Amino acid sequence: MTAAATTIDWADRIGRAREVVAAALPATPLVESPGLGQGVLLKLESFQPTGSFKVRGALAALSAAGTNGGVVTASSGNHALAVAWAAERLGIAATLVVPASTSPAKLAGLRRFPCTVIIHGDCYEHAAQHARSVATGGLRYVSAESDPDVIAGQATIGSELLAQLPGTFIVACGVGGGAMASGLGLAASRSSRMSVIGVEAAASPAVSTAVRAGTIRPIEVGDTLADGLAGNLEPGTITVNLISQHVRRLVSVTEEQIAGAVRFLAREHGLIAEGSGAAPVAAILAGTMPVAGQTVAIISGRNITLGALARVLQSA
């Protein structure tokens, strides 16, 4: 683990995040999924007010930032929505930098909140560089990936699961930048009852590549339905070392497997899941992640466009 990660008092940050999140958000439900095997449960983070687990990290980070000044972030999706929602709730000024490739539907969603939206660059990396340059004069840059308070907020999923479930269990989550896997891994490191498996899109194996190499390495990112899991890692991110230390295993799923999982959730549970939210289910259905005892699949989000959902459902 890097020096930056080892100097963080994770117990304190996660404890504060747990208080903030519990005060604002009810625990998300767990539902059984017999079609995936005995003992398999779905943790429905897709029921969060912005449709994604990322609202947890945004609440934790913005609460830690306080109301003096404001926050800046870069995102073209769920993290931006989460920061906008948390900023409105906490009365904090927020500036959201998004790339020109952001969908009109997501831009419309962001503009429903009282925040500043800046369109910059053609990709997330360009937007993030600009957001960091904007974060001056007391403004805090809130990274979706490696902000310690964001990671602590995502760790509250693990705290909830430990309260909701008796005995031991495995929890599977999608891995893109790695904040959720890092948070769950930190929660698991404090309890012998929980272990974590991370699921990447095969088209974007940034974290597993970095874990194997022991350092961050650029990868070629392919097109994927799991757009929330796609992209290269931020320079200096602490998530790679946290995942290396606390996540039991990383597996990957193909585009066909992801699409099949989206269809499974719609057919068997009447649930809308985006590709990244369905990735853990894809790993179970494919046998990439064998089920043994209690297993929890984190359905991390529902924010898929209607056009993409229609194409996936019609492709069966």
Q: How does pLDDT run across 41-81, given as a tens digit for each residue?
A: 999 999 999 999 999 999 999 999 876 779 999 997 899 99
Q: Which CATH class is domain 55-141?
A: alpha beta
In whole angstroms, how far apart are CA 282 and each of 150, 159, 259, 279, 303?
A: 26, 24, 8, 5, 17
The reply to whether 3-52+147-314 and 55-141 are identical in fold is: yes
pLDDT at 287 over 80: yes
pLDDT at 142 over 70: yes
Count of Cβ atoms closer than 10 Å to residue 154 Cβ: 31
Q: Do residues 269 and 46 lie in contact, with contact meaning Cβ atoms separated by under 8 Å?
A: no
Domain layout of the chain by residue ranges: 3-52+147-314, 55-141
Which of 98-112, 185-199, 253-267 has the lowest average pLDDT?
98-112
- Architecture in CATH of 3-52+147-314: 3-Layer(aba) Sandwich (3.40)
Q: Which residues neighbour 112 within 8 Å (Cβ) at sequence distance 6 or greater?
A: none
Local confidence band at 200 (pLDDT 50, 70, 90 cut-offs): very high
The amino acid at 50? T
The pLDDT of residue 101 is 81
